[in-house]
């Protein structure tokens, strides 16, 4: 039996400690459950997938992110903002996204809650294109 993968994956870049893994797993389960509750998986022909990577800051990783964005065919589906950068590929319903967290660490805000807000920001912007119920 093969293990089925979740449509929304969250990882951290290699500069983070593996001690972050429990938080990443918790966030991944949470966002996938939110999508399930919103009935995002009701139509097998339109299952959106997301691959999130937590990075320290977009400015530190900007050359890499810009390079990835430049490889995408449809630039209007690529967004680089202060704390998030993402590209959506319509042909395979896949979004690659980067979430910056250094500002959260410096301000000592509720990091988990703020990361959730950034995850929701990205997922809802893509869901809107498919008339899916927003997560919240």
Residue 46 within a domain? yes
pLDDT band per the 50, 70, 90 thresholds, residue 131: very high
Residue 93 within a domain? yes
Torsion angles phi and psi, residue 45, rounded to 5: -80, -10
* Helix, strand, or coil (residue 83): coil
- Comparing 20 with 67, the larger pLDDT belongs to 20
pLDDT exceeds cutoff 50 at 133: yes
Alpha helices in the chain (DSSP H): 21-37, 58-71, 102-107, 111-129
Closest-CA residue to 94 (of 114, 68, 118): 68
Supply the pLDDT for residue 73: 47
How many domains does the chain contain in total?
Answer: 1
Residue 7 within a domain? no
**pTM to 2 decimal places:** 0.87
| Angle subtended at Cα 21 by Cα 19 and Cα 25, rounded to the nearest 5 degrees | 150
Structure tokens given for 17: 């400690």
Residue 107 within a domain? yes
pLDDT tens digits, residue range 48-86? Answer: 999 999 998 887 766 666 666 555 545 557 888 889 999
Residue 36 within a domain? yes
Supply the pLDDT for residue 136: 84
Residue 57 within a domain? yes
In the chain, pLDDT over 90 holds for what percent of residues?
54
pLDDT exceeds cutoff 90 at 119: yes
Structural domain boundaries, residue 41: 16-129
Residue 135 within a domain? no
- Determine the Cα–Cα distance for residues 93 and 21; give it in Å rounded to an integer: 26
Residue 136 within a domain? no
């Amino acid at each position: 039996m093969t293990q089925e993968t979740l449509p929304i994956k969250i990882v951290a870049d290699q500069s983070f400690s593996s001690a972050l893994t429990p938080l990443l797993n918790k966030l991944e389960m949470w966002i996938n459950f939110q999508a399930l509750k919103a009935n995002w998986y009701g139509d097998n022909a339109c299952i959106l997938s997301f691959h999130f990577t937590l990075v320290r800051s977009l400015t530190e990783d900007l050359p890499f992110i810009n390079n990835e964005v430049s490889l995408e065919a449809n630039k209007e589906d690529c967004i680089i903002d202060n704390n998030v950068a993402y590209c959506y590929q319509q042909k395979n319903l896949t979004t690659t996204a980067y979430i910056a967290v250094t500002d959260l660490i410096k301000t000592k805000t509720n990091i988990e809650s703020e990361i959730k807000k950034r995850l929701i920001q990205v997922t809802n912007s893509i869901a809107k294109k498919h008339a899916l119920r927003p997560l919240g």
